Structure 1
Amino acid sequence: MSFQTIRRPSASGSQSARSVTVRRASRADLPALERIEAESFSGDRLSPRSLRTLIARPSASVLVAQLGAEVVGSVIVLYRRTASVGRLYSLAVEPRARGLGVAVKLLGAAEEDAVSRRQSAVRLEVRADNAAAIALYDRAGYRISGRRTNYYQDGETALLFRKTLAPQKAAASVARAAAAAR
């Protein structure tokens, strides 16, 4: 998997030396992952035990985004041996790092990971009231495939999204989404 670097703009608007990189998570990232979960989700959070299990599970990819040396975001994709569709289970970015292209970068890395595992598509659920995430997925080429009422702990509806992946097209569509987000 190859990952791009996104430069974080400085206060003056120019590019700084700090950049966002994406890598596989390790157990050492657990405190940061727990913090990001707590800051990103009011309910339906992954427990520390679940995060630890997912990091170790071969059928899951847990990727983290770093801004400099600090972990500021994560994405989790689940796979089944008998299926060709990956499930984007969680995408979270710390509030202070939002708007810097971190989510776009994580989404692109998740798609690259799915392609490397010979997945033909990625599916996900998102809260119907999460306009920012819905816009992100729409820009990246995801399409609504259904809805589930009372899906979340607080009774909120989930919109179901799906994107068909082609090895060359996955990287190109994420690059377009990144350009549109600028």
Structure 2
Amino acid sequence: MRIFILLLYFCDKFYLFSMRSIRPKALSRPHSVGTAVLRVGLSSAAASCGKAGGRHLRGIGIMATAHRHTGTGGMAGKCRVGSETDGVPVDHATLAMAVTIRRAKREDLPTLEWYGLHTPHREIIADAYRLQERGDGAMLLADVNGFPVGQICIDFLRKRPSGRATLWALRVFQPFRGLGLGVILVHAAERIVISRGVAVAELGVDRDNAEVLPFYERLGYEHCGRERGQFLYRTPEGKPIRVAIDQWLLCKKLPAKGEPDGGSGLRLAAE
């Protein structure tokens, strides 16, 4: 019996030593895996805050936060994160990110499939890029740390006879929605349209997607018609997909080139 008790004692000591040796060094006591990962992020954010708080980075500074928990001074004024030492639970963080609005490059095309979410639309993405290469369109991206978290396309060819440019394929990656990136992308696209001397920007909203109408109306777009039809594309496997179109058309009269546009005053990274 005494030998058995001794064996249990040494096995327990060995287990504790093993667990201590594999525990992340960032933790001083046991935590859940989620908290451990978050704490590493908080430590990094705190370090960067001390070095770069308030510094203007290239692109557009936006706030991405789990709880939109910033003080009146914003991130630069109060760069504070919870920690174990001050008694604040480590359950959220506020991160300041630099966003660059730029034209798409060929190497962006695979990433624009967003981890398989838009892989079936590979042909559509490639067609939009080819339109840009020919000078008949533009494909603008919101770039965060090298990843395209948002996109908007412009087609100068389709409505050229009527003096309009078509804005289409506006999308923002799910974790970055609700932060104003959609507005930034629309304004950037409008600047491109203005630079080409086109007087009107037009876009379509599917009639079963009426909840987005107020977004465009706030940006100055007005109802200007209805469009029905269909288009065809093929998946990477070669399967043809036919999509019916039933849209409201929204239009916005843009200022002439050189006039104030009343937008965000953004410039593309290449400008």
TM-score (norm 2): 0.54
**Does 1:90 pair with 2:166?**
no
Q: 1:143 to 1:61 in 2, by over 3 A?
A: same
Query: What is the distance in 1 between the residues matched to 2:211 and 2:63?
Result: 20
Q: Give RMSD over aligned pairs.
A: 3.0
Query: Partners in 2 of 1:63 and 1:111 — Cα distance?
Result: 11
Q: Distance in 1 between matches of 2:216 and 2:189?
A: 13
**SS of match in other structure, 2:178:** coil
Counterpart pick for 1:129 among 203, 208, 220: 208
Deviations 1:78-125 (A, max 9, x none): 113665321113211112211111111100000011111111110111
Which structure has the larger Rg over C-alpha atoms?
Answer: 2
Query: Is contact 2:129-2:139 (8 Å) kept?
Result: no
Query: Post-superposition shift, 1:140?
Result: 0.3
My pick for the range that moved more, 54-63 or 6-15, is 6-15
What SS class does the counterpart of residue 47 from structure 1 fall into?
helix
Contact 1:145 1:160 in 2 (8 A): yes
Distance 1:36 1:130, change over 3 A: farther
Q: List alignment gaps of at least 5 residues for structure 1.
A: 176-182
Tell me, yes or no, if the aligned pair for 2:230 and 2:244 is still in contact at 8 Å.
Answer: yes
Give the letter for the 2:106 counterpart. R
2:134 to 57, 60, 63: 57
Q: CA deviation at 1:72?
A: 0.7
Higher strand share: 1
Q: Is structure 2 residue 124 aligned with structure 1 residue 35?
A: no
1:180 maps to: none
129-138 or 62-71, which deviates more: 129-138
Distance 2:224 2:249 in 1: 5
Of the structure 1 ranges 62-71 and 10-19, higher mean CA displacement relative to structure 2 is found in 10-19
The alignment status of 1:158 with 2:237, answered yes or no, reads: no
2:100 counterpart of 1:21: yes
| Percent identity of paired positions between Structure 1 and Structure 2 | 29
Paired residue secondary structure (2:110): helix
Instruction: Give unpaired runs (5+ residues) of structure 2.
Output: 1-57, 76-94, 232-241, 265-271
Match of 1:8 in 2: 63
Deviation, structure 1 residue 134: 1.6
Give the structure, 1 or 2, with the largest relative contact order (CA under 8 Å, sep 6 or more): 1
The Cα of 1:46 is off from its aligned counterpart by 5.0
Residues 119-148 of structure 1: per-residue CA shift (max 9 Å, x gap): 111011111222443222111000011123
Does the Cα contact within 8 Å between 2:109 and 2:126 map onto a contact in 1? no
> Is the partner of 2:109 in helix, strand or coil?
helix
Residue in structure 1 matched with residue 194 of structure 2 by the alignment? 115
